[in-house]
Amino acid sequence: MSALRLGTVLASSVLLGGLIYWGWPAKPARAASLKPDGERHAAPDFALKDADGKTVRLSDYKGKVVLLDFWATYCGPCKIEIPWFMDFERKHKDQGFSVLGVDMDDEGWDAVKPFVNDEGINYRIVVGNDATADMFGGIEALPTTFLIDRDGKIAAVHVGLTSKSDFENAIEQLLQTPAHAAGGAGRVSLPAELVGAR
């Protein structure tokens, strides 16, 4: 084999390998942040109180697309995203979509209620705790936002401030996808001691 042919074969191999590794261009388009169906895992269920003292379970949202936002009142980047989430709630709530905010302030409702009133937040807020954070892999950075598909599986995770269009594209794509399992099965039930509420 001549040096030229050997070079051509090597270059072709590198190009082919690169295409396989970084993604074949003819792949169907998917919102950049969404995991393929096969890589999604069931979102853990929790039971937390909302501002009215009602218990909210993630499993209450079965069959819906859920944007689950871990946030805190001291978190500047969270405050950028909250108006976007209010827009999404208004725009998509009739299509089987809900935003659920999990506040992680140490002071709980004392910190959250004034903030929710000041900002006019139009979606449901619950107060989370360390046990809730641990269930989702130990949340340290805020905001951390999960997009959950109609089957109750985590389709995307965003850590830190993310672009509005990334969320919008992913939500629209998830809303177009019907639930595979009747009733949105798949969420993990956890022992009562892990299902924290305060």
Partner 1 sequence: MPLAALAACLCLPSLWAQGNQYLTAEASQKLVAKRGAAAEAKIAVSVQPGFHVNSNTPSDAYLIPLKLTWAPGGALEPGAVVFPKPQMEKYEFSDKPLSVFTGDFELTAKFKVPAGASQGPGIMLGKLRYQACNNNSCFPPKTVEVRVSYQVQ
Please say whether the beta carbons of 31 and 94 come within 8 A: no
In this chain, which stretch among 24-32, 69-77, 83-91, 92-100 interacts with partner 1, using CB under 8 A? 69-77
Residues 1, 20, 21, 120: which binds partner 1 (CB under 8 A)? 21
Alpha carbon distance 82, 142 (integer Å)? 12
Residues 51, 111, 157, 197: which binds partner 1 (CB under 8 A)? 111
Q: Applying CB under 8 A, does 22 fall inside the site for partner 1?
A: yes
Q: Applying CB under 8 A, does 52 fall inside the site for partner 1?
A: no
In this chain, which stretch among 57-65, 67-75, 94-102, 176-184 interacts with partner 1, using CB under 8 A? 67-75
For the CA atoms of 124, 129, 130, 131, what is the dihedral angle to 10 degrees? -80
Q: Applying CB under 8 A, does 77 fall inside the site for partner 1?
A: yes
Residues 50, 51, 63, 74: which binds partner 1 (CB under 8 A)? 74
Instruction: For the CB of residue 131, give the shortest distance to partner 1 in the complex, in Å.
Output: 14
Please say whether the beta carbons of 127 and 94 come within 8 A: no
Q: Applying CB under 8 A, does 157 fall inside the site for partner 1?
A: no
Alpha carbon distance 149, 173 (integer Å)? 10
Q: Applying CB under 8 A, does 169 fall inside the site for partner 1?
A: no
Environment class of 156 (CB within 10 Å of its CB; exposed 0-12, middle 13-18, buried 19+): buried
